[in-house]
A and B are shown apart, each in its own frame.
Chain A
Amino acid sequence: MLAFILRSLWRELASGELRVLLLGLIIGVGAFTSVALFNERVHQAMTHQAGELLAADLLVQSSSSLPEAWKQSALGMGLQLAETTSFRSMTLAGERLQMAEVKAVTRGYPLRGRLLVAETSGHSEQPRQTPPERGSVWLERQLLDRLGLKPGDDIQLGESRFRISGLIIEEPDRGGSLFSIAPRLMMNPLDLPATGLLTVGSRAEYRLLLAGDADALEVFRGWIKPRLQAGQRLLGPRDSRRELTSALERAERFLGLASLVSLLLAAVAIAMSANRYARRHLDNTALLRCLGASRQLITRIFTGQLLLLGLGGSLIGLLFGYLVQHLLAALLAGLFIQQLPPPTLQPLLLGLLIGLVTLIGFALPPLLALRNTPPLRVLRREMPLPRLSRLAIYGPALVVLTGLLAWQAADWQLTLLVSLGMLATLSLLTLVAWLMTRMLQRVSPSGGQPWRLGLANIARHPEVSIVQLVAVGLGMMVVLLLILIRTDLLDAWRATLPFEAPNHFLINVQADQLVPLEKFFRQKNHSIPVIYPMVRGRLHSLNGTPVDAESYSQPRAKQLIQREFNLSWMERMPTSNRLVSGHWWNRTDERGWSVEKGIARALGIQLGDRLAFEIAGQTVSALVTSLRTVAWDSFEVNFFVIAPPGQLDVTQASYITAFFLPPGEEAFLARLITHFSNITDIDVGALMQRVRSIIDRVILSVQFVSLFTLLAGLVVLLAAVQSSLDERIREAAILRTLGAMKGQIRTAIVTEFMVLGAIAGLLAALGATLIAALLADQLFGLSYQGNLWIWPVSLISGMLLMGASGVLGVRSVLQKPPLQQIL
């Protein structure tokens, strides 16, 4: 039996019968695997990069010094270690005082990212992984300037004096906390005791930095979790910053989307070529049945053939995918600071599984229908192929494939949205295609003009036309969608972080400084930033029930509840916020809270709940009147909770603002700081640069990934043209026998294909626009502006692509003498 299956499979392959099917499978699996492998490596690299903001892969943060046992345990697991101790303290130089963020670092710091220090001697910038020598410190230039010092001078910290031996140029985890409000001073931990600054009860943050391979980190994570106590927490790359997490999540969604559609397209191509294969095998099957083959045997033969083909094709696809992702990695290698991590086995296994499921799911049903071929067909060739409902055929395959994709993408929402979108689009495409073919029935081919013949042909083969319109329309739609996403959605994303996004925050502005500050900006010809009031308050009760950390089980909720909220009030909602439910106040005498959606979910707050905040001993209570989403990566000033003007006590407020400081204007900042000495400046420029570079990198990888989708789209086109090729070759031969000239046939077919292409192009533009708008809104939280150019571009490329395919497809029939095909 196996020998028979192998022999017949070999014969089919040799005769070229299965080539398109195999090509579809190889490209489908190849595209999926390369995307999955590459995505995973990029994802890992990006996580790694996010690790730079922690200066580690993982860290334990504590308000008290860390147990020695933890360090020993981490070392035992093969992890690299470093420690930092941070606290705020006044520094002194002569008469001048300045608050500094002191950080003592051990050897090995930073484990990830780069600490760049310009040594006083020689002034060359060098990456360092050792602390300053004992008795010396490194400073940020800001601190130097504020104290009026120069490198080599002495600085007083607590009870010790230190020599300034270097300038800190770049520090990886500097942006790690938004409220690092003073300039940095970095020192050797061995000098700490002598300063006398750290005593029992003094506020300091102790960090144990860890790096190593993923498995060891996972083991450590599991080991440490139950040992963490109040005031201690574990931070991974995702916790490093909300801005970055949000960028990473979007990146994964973009890449996941591209990977998802490539495979669905390949599945369409496989289904189409399997249908053609089945049609061509009616006679063989009828003959086999005549010769006594049972339906069961036929089933076994075709299933066996498909399994072998699926294994072989998938393996070639895997190899192809593996090679292509290496090529991609090589192309992109220079972009990443570190080398991409090595590919893992999981995407390969999944690729194999996906290949088999796709082939069995989409190719087996039409082949299984063959077992119902009546043996009588040997005598009566016109007996049609027994038919099954399309839903019954492809339904299960679609469900399984969607499930696998969802598992791979780890994002049900995206998978469901794309799958439902595809299904809805499929129905819409079919409906419109059907209407179009009905309309074309009115075209009379009389008069002998070949283009009329071509038009009439569309209506005369309604089923073939509809299948081609839908397949090509779907293929083009997906490619267009990717182009739209690439350009529009990515632009929209980039626009959330414009070049002039705020890179400096000013906090601790006092009420009586508002007018002078505005005046200062105006005088120096800077545009005046929006200044928000801010009061600090603790969440006191929810719907009358007092809340504390014990009320919540989630660590994030516990943290949120323990710290003070920054509350603000304003008349209009900031542009980087979007209302998701409820309403924004339209009268200033209204009471209410507008709460950020994420925090509301974490704390179990719903629209209409009554929240009470305790602000400087007083309780302010109001209902939640709206929920908002906040684009954290916009770098605007954002608040979790906002009140309408008048609800909070103005006298409690300090003010905060964010503004863009163009490069080279540091003097303006220096004057501002000198002029308003109590105001604290926070520089987030470096962090923004990092986020921007990640966005750019993601855009580049999405562009690469979309090449595969384009390839898969082209295979669909090939399969669509091939699906009707046999019939067209026969028809063209008959027409030529009846006296049709090559030119007439070519014109007729090209007209037919071009019109089909034009309709498919329009359908694709329609579908892509709708889906892009939906994705932008639902998934990426961006507002999508329609794009007019895709309509003509889609129409014309549809016409050209299909027209060219038509010409290529019928070339064989036009070159061979008709006798060979007809007698």
Chain B
Amino acid sequence: MSQQKRTESRPIVRAEDLSKQVSSPDGPLDILQGVNLDLQHSETLAVVGASGSGKSTLLGLLAGLDLPSRGRVELNGQNLNSLDEDGRARLRRELLGFVFQSFHLLPSLTALENVMVPLELVGHSDARILAEEWLQRVGLQPRRLHRPNQLSGGEQQRVAIARAFATSPQLLLADEPTGNLDQQTGRKVIDLLFELNREHRTTLILVTHDVALADQCSRRLELAEGRLLQVSGC
């Protein structure tokens, strides 16, 4: 029990002085400047802000999909800067799940195969069975052999959610998951996301500009022009 306590007291995500600068025709451009952040297990965090405020960049840096110009990110105590690209990939595979605004399903694969991919990557021997269970869970078992272009936007995002949860990640990163969906479908997708999140006690970072959606999270972080404006919640 005390062991558990200690683990949980260590943040699953820690960002220190996180900055990203890119070059532009008008000189260097700061997309993100000095962001500090700690996130504990099972917490849910909403990152809000206007377009171009640096939300997606922050998410990418937290996932190790890119490296910061300054500062550092730790996932489960592991400094991403100290890992090479493959090391970061391995960490993502073990720790992370993703849901994207534009779904990013592999177009040539069926819904079932899309969910199987992350399981196959970790060498899961029952990938197919597990993937079928997850499609059942998101209500798409009857459409498991359909390809992405044969599914509606809402259905595609449900497949993406099944894929994200399939490897039982500790941390789920969602980038505007309802951005490409109508309000009603978006609502359903969000309900599903939070329901699964609760069931599996997953830590969730949700990038959104939907205030109502942000309110469902335990914490909120607002970005403007690459700087952290405020942190609300506990």
Q: Which residues of A contact B (CB under 8 A)?
A: 382, 384, 445-449, 453, 460-461, 464, 727, 731, 734-744, 817-820, 822-823
Report B57-89 residues with CB < 8 Å from chain A CB: 57, 59-60, 63, 65-67, 85-86, 89
Separation of A445 and B93 alpha carbons in the complex (Å):
17
Separation of A501 and B66 alpha carbons in the complex (Å):
74
Q: Are A738 and B67 in contact (CB under 8 A)?
A: no
User: B117 is contacted by which of A382, A727, A738 (Cβ under 8 Å)?
Assistant: A738
Minimal beta-carbon separation of B107 from chain A (angstroms): 7
Q: Is B100 located at the chain interface by the 8 A CB criterion? A: yes
Q: Are A446 and B89 in contact (CB under 8 A)?
A: no
Most chain A C-beta atoms within 10 Å of own C-beta, residue among B89, B124, B128:
B89
Q: Are B124 and A740 in contact (CB under 8 A)?
A: no
Q: A742 with B108: in contact, given A382-B148, A448-B124, A819-B60 (CB under 8 Å)?
A: no
Most chain A C-beta atoms within 10 Å of own C-beta, residue among B121, B124, B128:
B121
Q: Is B175 located at the chain interface by the 8 A CB criterion? A: yes
Residue of B nearest to A737 (CB): B98
Q: B98: which A residues are within 8 A, CB to CB?
A: 737-738
Separation of A449 and B121 alpha carbons in the complex (Å):
8
Minimal beta-carbon separation of B219 from chain A (angstroms): 22
Q: A734: which B residues are within 8 A, CB to CB?
A: 104, 106
Q: Is B122 located at the chain interface by the 8 A CB criterion? A: yes
Q: A727 with B86: in contact, given A738-B93, A823-B56 (CB under 8 Å)?
A: no
Q: B63: which A residues are within 8 A, CB to CB?
A: 737
Minimal beta-carbon separation of A180 from chain B (angstroms): 74
Q: Are B106 and A731 in contact (CB under 8 A)?
A: yes
Q: A446 with B148: in contact, given A735-B117, A823-B59, A823-B175 (CB under 8 Å)?
A: no
Q: Are B85 and A742 in contact (CB under 8 A)?
A: yes
Q: Are B93 and A739 in contact (CB under 8 A)?
A: yes
Separation of A34 and B63 alpha carbons in the complex (Å):
55
Q: A822 with B104: in contact, given A382-B149, A742-B89 (CB under 8 Å)?
A: yes
Q: Is B135 located at the chain interface by the 8 A CB criterion? A: no
Separation of A228 and B109 alpha carbons in the complex (Å):
78
Q: Are B86 and A741 in contact (CB under 8 A)?
A: yes
Q: Are B65 and A823 in contact (CB under 8 A)?
A: yes
Separation of A445 and B90 alpha carbons in the complex (Å):
19
Instruction: Tally the A-B contacts, defined by beta carbons under 8 Å.
Output: 91
Separation of A283 and B153 alpha carbons in the complex (Å):
18
Most chain B C-beta atoms within 10 Å of own C-beta, residue among A464, A742, A817, A823:
A823
Separation of A735 and B93 alpha carbons in the complex (Å):
10
Residue of B nearest to A457 (CB): B108
Q: Is B94 located at the chain interface by the 8 A CB criterion? A: yes
Residue of A nearest to B117 (CB): A738
Q: B91: which A residues are within 8 A, CB to CB?
A: 739
Measured as residues with beta carbon below 8 angstroms from the partner, the interface class of chain B is: 35 or more
Q: Are A464 and B108 in contact (CB under 8 A)?
A: yes
Minimal beta-carbon separation of A395 from chain B (angstroms): 28
Q: A819: which B residues are within 8 A, CB to CB?
A: 57, 60, 65-66
Q: Are B107 and A744 in contact (CB under 8 A)?
A: no
Q: Are A460 and B113 in contact (CB under 8 A)?
A: yes
Q: Is B227 located at the chain interface by the 8 A CB criterion? A: no
Q: Is B118 located at the chain interface by the 8 A CB criterion? A: yes
Q: A736 with B89: in contact, given A818-B65, A820-B66 (CB under 8 Å)?
A: yes
Minimal beta-carbon separation of B152 from chain A (angstroms): 10
Q: B120: which A residues are within 8 A, CB to CB?
A: 445-448, 453
Q: Are A446 and B128 in contact (CB under 8 A)?
A: yes
Q: A737 with B65: in contact, given A464-B108, A823-B56 (CB under 8 Å)?
A: yes
Q: Is B125 located at the chain interface by the 8 A CB criterion? A: yes
Q: B121: which A residues are within 8 A, CB to CB?
A: 448, 735, 738-740, 744
Report B100-136 residues with CB < 8 Å from chain A CB: 100, 104, 106-109, 113, 116-118, 120-125, 127-128
Separation of A448 and B128 alpha carbons in the complex (Å):
12
Separation of A737 and B108 alpha carbons in the complex (Å):
18
Minimal beta-carbon separation of B91 from chain A (angstroms): 8
Separation of A735 and B85 alpha carbons in the complex (Å):
13
Sorted from nearest, which 6 A-B pairs have the closest CB atoms? A739-B93, A448-B123, A819-B65, A819-B60, A819-B66, A739-B92
Separation of A740 and B89 alpha carbons in the complex (Å):
6
Minimal beta-carbon separation of A437 from chain B (angstroms): 12
Q: B123: which A residues are within 8 A, CB to CB?
A: 447-449
Residue of A nearest to B89 (CB): A741
Residue of A nearest to B56 (CB): A823
Separation of A743 and B63 alpha carbons in the complex (Å):
19
Q: B107: which A residues are within 8 A, CB to CB?
A: 727
Q: Are B108 and A461 in contact (CB under 8 A)?
A: yes
Q: Are A823 and B92 in contact (CB under 8 A)?
A: no
Minimal beta-carbon separation of B47 from chain A (angstroms): 13
Minimal beta-carbon separation of B230 from chain A (angstroms): 24
Report B30-65 residues with CB < 8 Å from chain A CB: 56-57, 59-60, 63, 65
Separation of A445 and B65 alpha carbons in the complex (Å):
25
Separation of A230 and B94 alpha carbons in the complex (Å):
98
